[in-house]
Structure 1
Amino acid sequence: MRSLEEKAVRLLSGVVEADLLHLYLRLLATGGSPADEATGFLGGADEVNSLVRAGMAQIHEPEADQPSRLMPVPMDVVLQHTLVGLAQEALADYERLLGGYQRICDLSATIGPAADPSVGQLAQLITDSDEVSRLTSTLMGSVQREWLTLSNHAPTEPVGRIGSAVAPSPVERGDRCRAIYDADFLPEAATPDKLEVLAETGIQVRILPRIRMSLGLADEAIAILPLTSSETTGALLVQSSVIVGALREYFELLWEKAIPFGGTGRNSTGLPDIHIKILRLLVQGLSDEAISERVDLSLTTVRRHIKTLRENLGIKTRFQLGVVAVQQGLVD
C-alpha cells in the first residue's frame, strides 16, 4: 500500500492541490471508508465534499445489508479529470485575455481629439503600415533585455518580423530573443527552412498549434499587436504596464506548452549529431518521410536511427520518444 501512495504522490503532486492530495492519500491508504464514518475520518463534511467535487472520491453502494463506502477514485482517472479541469480554466483565462485585447482594439478605434487623454495612454491604434514598421524597428532597437514574438501566421521574408520590420540578429545585438510560431504552417514547404534560419541566428524558436493572435513585446514595457496577419491593416501599440504584464504572462504560458524548434547549437547530450537533428524534427511533428527529406537520408536509414533512439532510451512509441526528448533536454 505504501508503494501505491508513493505512486499517487509522483503522479498527482503539483497537479492536484496539496490539501486535496493529502486527503486523497489518507483515503487511498485505507482503501476507502464507511460513508457514515468518512466525515470523522477525513476531518469534516467539507473535506469529504471537496474530495467528491474534485472527482477524487465517490460513494459506492454495495450489496444489500452492506454499508455505503466512500472510495478513492483510481489515480489515473483523478489525473485525467484534474487535467481536463485545468485545461478548461486555462481556456477560460485565454478567452478573457483575447476578449480584453479585442476591447482595447475597439476602444482605440474610437479615440478622437476630444477623447479622454487617459484612454489614449492605454493603447494607440496605428493604421499606417509604414508607421507600424518604423515603430517596430524602433522598439527592437531599444530593447535592453528581451524581445518576444508571438505569430499566428507563416513567417515571411525575411523571417522574424512583426508587421514588416526585420528583427535584428540577437547575436549581433546581444539581446535575448524568443519567438513562438504557429505550427499549423509547418506543412508549407518554405516554413521549416525559414524558421531554421531564424533559430540558427540564436533566437529561441518554439512552435505551437492554433495560435490566435500575434504580438511583439519589448522588455516588459511596450507591446505591439498587429490587428491581422496583413501588413496593411495597422497595429495596436500598448503602453499600459498592466496590459503589457498580462500579455507577458500569456506569452510565458504558451512558451511552456510550445515545442522547441531547430538551432543546432552545441551537442552536449552525447548523442550523434544526426540523432539530435532527427529528434528536433520529430518533436516538431514531421513524418518519417519529411524527416528523410530534411536530413537528406533514405527513409530506411531515418527509421533505423529512430529505432536506435527508442532502444537506447527505452521508449516504445514514436510519440513517447518526442516527449522524452523534450523532458530530458535532449533538444534545445
Structure 2
Amino acid sequence: MRSLEEKAFRLLSGVVEADLLHLYLRLLATGGYPADEASGFLGGTDEVSSLVHAGMAQVHEPAADHPSRLIPVPMDVVLQHTLVGLAQEALADYERLLGGYQRMCDLSATTSPVAEPSVGQLARLITDSDEVSRLTSTLLGSVQREWLTLSNHTPTEAVEGVSGAVAPSPIERGARCRAIYDADFLQEAATRDKLEVVAETGTQVRILPRVRMSLALADEATALLPLTSSETAGALFVQSPVIVGALREYFELLWEKAIPFGGTGRNSTGLPEIHIKILRLLVQGLSDEAISKRVDLSLSTVRRHIKALRESLGIKTRFQLGVVAVQQGLVD
C-alpha cells in the first residue's frame, strides 16, 4: 500500500464502513476511472452509486474533448462528510431515546399498578422528593461495580446536587464512578468548585456542551431518572434490563464524545488518592488491619485496593510494592 492510500486508511479506518473504504482506496490508488468503465473496475453500478452517495467519489466533467471520469473526493472532505452523517445518526438515536424515556414517564404516571403489575416491576414513578433521596442513598450504598451519572441541571440547581450525585462511598468500596455534566456547570465558580470536589474523590468527570437528560445507573441493574417536567417533582425508578441496558449504551455514546474535566481524581502520580493513602501507610510498615482503621475502610476493601495496586504496578509481593512506591516517587 502506497503512502497516499496508507494515509487514507489511517484517517478513515474505523470511521468509514470497511467495504466502502476498500472501494475508495482502489479508486484513490488509480486516481479515478472513466465514468462509463468505473462499474467494471469497482465491481458494479451499485458500488459506484454507494461511493457517490457516501460523498467519497464524484463524476468529473472535463473539457468537451475528454470523457467524464469517476474520481476520489479528497480524504479530508470524506472524513468531514462521514462525521456529519454519523452525528446525524447519533442525534436521531438520541431523539428516539428521549421519546421513549418520556413515554415511560407517561406510562408510569397513568398506569394502575393493580391493573398492570408488570409495569410496576419494570418502572415506578416516585413523586415524593424524600423517597427519591432515600432511594438514591440506598443505590449509592449498594453499588459494587459502577455508578454512572448524567446531569443537566442548571448551575443554580446544581450547587446542592453535584457533590451528592456521586458520593465517594462507591469508590471506597472499589467501584468505578463516572459522571457527565452539562457545560453550563463551568460558567459559575461555585459549580466549578463542586466539580473539582467530585473529581478529587476519584470520580472520572467529563463535560458535554449540552446534556438533555439526567440519570443515574447502578451496576447495570437499575436506573434513576429525575423528572424534568415543571409539573411533576420526583424521579422514575427503572429495573427493566432492556431499558437499563439501552440507557447504559446511551451513556457510553455520550462518554466517548465528552471532554475530560480538568480534575481527574488523581494526583501527579496518576493514582487515586485512596491508593496514595494506603501506599504511605504500607511503606510505614502498618499491617492491613491497621491501615483499615486509619483510612476507615473495611479490611477486605483495603486488601482489594492493595491487590489492584500490585496488579497495576506489575508487582507480586507486598514488600516489593513498598520498595517500588518509594523508588518511583509514588509516596514521599
Instruction: Give the TM-score, by structure 1 length.
Output: 0.76
Instruction: Indicate the residue corresponding to 1:76 in structure 2.
Output: 76
Q: 1:257 to 1:59 in 2, by over 3 A?
A: same
Instruction: Indicate the residue corresponding to 2:315 in structure 1.
Output: none
User: What is the CA–CA distance in structure 1 between the aligned matches of 2:98 and 2:241, rounded to whole Å?
Assistant: 17
How does 1:293-308 map onto structure 2 within 5 Å?
none
Contact 2:147–2:170 (CA<8 Å) still a contact in 1? Answer: no
Instruction: Give the CA deviation at 1:229.
Output: 8.6
Instruction: Give the CA deviation at 1:113.
Output: 4.4
Instruction: Give the CA deviation at 1:161.
Output: 2.8
Instruction: Give the CA deviation at 1:65.
Output: 2.6
User: What is the CA–CA distance in structure 2 between the aligned matches of 1:178 and 1:264, rounded to whole Å?
Assistant: 11
CA-based RMSD: 2.0
Q: Does 2:128 align with 1:128?
A: yes
Contact 2:227–2:235 (CA<8 Å) still a contact in 1? Answer: yes
User: What is the CA–CA distance in structure 2 between the aligned matches of 1:263 and 1:168, rounded to whole Å?
Assistant: 14
Instruction: Indicate the residue corresponding to 2:307 in structure 1.
Output: none
Structure possessing the higher radius of gyration over alpha carbons:
2
User: What is the CA–CA distance in structure 2 between the aligned matches of 1:265 and 1:89, rounded to whole Å?
Assistant: 35
Instruction: Indicate the residue corresponding to 1:119 in structure 2.
Output: 119
Instruction: Indicate the residue corresponding to 1:208 in structure 2.
Output: 208
Instruction: Indicate the residue corresponding to 1:108 in structure 2.
Output: 108
Q: 1:157 to 1:229 in 2, by over 3 A?
A: farther
Deviations for 1:206-242, whole angstroms, at most 9, x for unmatched residues? 1111100000111010000000298970000001000
User: What is the CA–CA distance in structure 1 between the aligned matches of 2:147 and 2:182, rounded to whole Å?
Assistant: 18
Instruction: Indicate the residue corresponding to 2:264 in structure 1.
Output: 263
Instruction: Indicate the residue corresponding to 2:13 in structure 1.
Output: 13
User: What is the CA–CA distance in structure 2 between the aligned matches of 1:35 and 1:214, rounded to whole Å?
Assistant: 52
Structure 2: which 5+ runs fail to align? Answer: 271-332
User: What is the CA–CA distance in structure 1 between the aligned matches of 2:56 and 2:67, rounded to whole Å?
Assistant: 20
Instruction: Give the CA deviation at 1:96.
Output: 0.4
Instruction: Indicate the residue corresponding to 2:43 in structure 1.
Output: 43
Instruction: Give the TM-score, by structure 2 length.
Output: 0.76
Letter of the 1:265 counterpart: R
Instruction: Give the CA deviation at 1:121.
Output: 2.2
Instruction: Indicate the residue corresponding to 2:149 in structure 1.
Output: 149
Contact 2:220–2:244 (CA<8 Å) still a contact in 1? Answer: yes
Other structure's SS at 2:77 match: helix
Structure 1: which 5+ runs fail to align? Answer: 270-332
Instruction: Give the CA deviation at 1:258.
Output: 1.3
Contact 1:185–1:191 (CA<8 Å) still a contact in 2? Answer: yes
User: What is the CA–CA distance in structure 2 between the aligned matches of 1:234 and 1:52, rounded to whole Å?
Assistant: 50
Deviations for 1:111-157, whole angstroms, at most 9, x for unmatched residues? 22443212222210000001111111111111111111110013333
Instruction: Indicate the residue corresponding to 1:251 in structure 2.
Output: 251
Instruction: Give the CA deviation at 1:57.
Output: 0.6
Contact 2:141–2:170 (CA<8 Å) still a contact in 1? Answer: no
Contact 1:32–1:72 (CA<8 Å) still a contact in 2? Answer: yes
Instruction: Give the CA deviation at 1:187.
Output: 1.0
Instruction: Give the CA deviation at 1:167.
Output: 2.4
Instruction: Indicate the residue corresponding to 2:30 in structure 1.
Output: 30
